[in-house]
Structure 1
Amino acid sequence: MRPSMILRGGGGDAPLGKYGKYIGGWGNLGVGIKQRGIIQYGLAPNRQKLFPGLMTDGVYNTFRRVRGQILYFIPFVVYYFINEWATERNEYLNSKAGRAEFSGEEEEE
């Protein structure tokens, strides 16, 4: 059975569905039904400030946040420098010059 033209094309008040009302075609569902409890606000893009308070509040807020977190950050910096020193020291000791410099120490022990 072919659907009628009203159902295919979306005619006005054709009875359809549970409540007997046509609610609109694809992309226009519920156009004829007034929505309640939905509030939308908008602001034009040319009326918005991109970075309000960046120069006045941004610098002070950044300083305040860094000051509050610095004790959590310092151990990672210390670890990084210790790791860099140990890596360079290991590479030197395993190089030709390092082996030549410290080759006599292991034999004495």
Structure 2
Amino acid sequence: MRPTQILLGGGEPNPKIGNYIGDWGTIGGANKQKGIVHWGLSANRQNVTAGAFHDAIFNTFRRTKSQIFYWLPAMLGGYYIMQWAVDRNHYLNSKAGRAEFQDSEE
């Protein structure tokens, strides 16, 4: 395996390896790179919440619509099982429920 240019002698060009790519932190050499555009917008000119409310409504609807058949049946099943268990518990702890099952506890 051939060592990297940095290991061979730092940032100096080596004709065996090829072109000089520059030292660490200045990869690309001392010349300014071309074709890279930097632009920015002042912080007081930005509207950071632009469209957030609109996107929240429509993204929530879209995501819920695509996932509803995965979680709705489980949620309905859990609700009905819990409702049955609560009703059964109330019955078993009522006067009629205790009278019906008084012999089975002994």
Normalising by structure 2, report the TM-score.
0.46
Normalising by structure 1, report the TM-score.
0.46
* Greater per-residue helix proportion: 1
